[in-house]
Amino acid sequence: MSRFFERPKIGKPLAVALTAVLVLVTLAVAIVLAYRAGSDAADEASPSETESSESSESTGLPGAEQIYDPLTTVEGSEYDGELYIFRGYERTYVGAVSAATNWLTAYGSSLDPAYSEQLGAELLVDDGKQTPEDWRDYPLNRREEIGLTATEAVPDGWALSASPVAYQTRNASADRIEVILLTRLVAATPYGSESVNTLLTMDLVWTGTDWADSGNDMGADYTTLKVEVGEEASSEAKELGWKLLTR
């Protein structure tokens, strides 16, 4: 999982005056653009020309020859009640996209560094470039952006929510697939909420029993893929290759 770009320091302790907090929250959340970068340059082909049209005969991944728009995610065979994620996803195209959607929802919604480290320990392969400790950076950066300190308990009324709404994939093979999710990130505070679209990505590898995060930096800047997506994909979103997700 790649590192997020560092954001300007804009957070303040909660003890500041209410007026100052309101201004900071509005500015802070508006620039929440944290994303995990991917490995290929932005693909501006139409959906019919994208990787989803690859045949399973060439990729070896069942279902990769189909175009799912929308794609309805499925659950894994086991639920982890401690981490609030599913495990045991099938070795299929839908299974891989579903795994990335479930896991990145948990990752992107975290303001708890300890939880994020546990999540990394569960999902990362052992020999990747990232360690579970690296996953602490995401919630620490988000805390700073919305005005929370690194160590304080998250107060009532403060929350972060990641909701993937559309997807793309790259380099599908029998044992590997890169998943890019256009995600609605909402930061809620006692003073209101703000939302932005962000990109979350995961480079999945098949371990023999389940998918896992390779921990490799996918490398490319996908910011040109950012677009507004509602209940239906706009013509611009479709031109950029986005396909809708449903659950």
* Length in residues, the chain: 247
Q: How many CA atoms lie within 13 A of 241 on its CB side?
A: 21
Position 232 scores a pLDDT of: 77
Position 44 scores a pLDDT of: 38
**Would you say residue 86 has pLDDT above 50?**
yes
Confidence of residue 228 (pLDDT cuts 50, 70, 90): confident
Q: Spell out the domain ranges in the chain.
A: 18-246
Least confident of 20-34, 57-71, 81-95: 20-34
Do residues 65 and 55 touch, judged by C-beta distance below 8 A? yes
User: Mean pLDDT throughout 159-164?
Assistant: 98
Beta bridge partners of 213: 124, 204
Quick one: what percent of the chain has pLDDT higher than 90?
66
Which CATH number applies to 18-246?
Answer: 3.10.450.50
Give the pairing type, strands 159-170 and 85-87: unpaired
Q: Which helix (H) or strand (E) holds 20?
A: helix 18-30
**Residue 146, SS3 per DSSP:** helix
Q: How many CA atoms lie within 13 A of 33 on its CB side?
A: 13
| Residue whose entry in the numeric block shows the structure tokens 């480079």 | 203
Confidence of residue 55 (pLDDT cuts 50, 70, 90): very low
Region for 96 from its dihedrals, namely left if φ exceeds 0, alpha if ψ lies in -120 to 50, beta otherwise: alpha
Confidence of residue 217 (pLDDT cuts 50, 70, 90): confident
Q: How do residues 3-53 score in pLDDT, each as one tens digit? A: 333 333 223 333 333 333 333 333 333 333 333 434 343 343 334 334 443
User: Mean pLDDT throughout 132-148?
Assistant: 96
Position 34 scores a pLDDT of: 39
- With a CB cutoff of 8 Å and minimum separation 6, the contacts of 154 are 111, 112, 148
**Would you say residue 213 has pLDDT above 70?**
yes
Position 219 scores a pLDDT of: 61
- With a CB cutoff of 8 Å and minimum separation 6, the contacts of 99 are 76, 86, 89, 204, 210, 211
Beta bridge partners of 164: 183
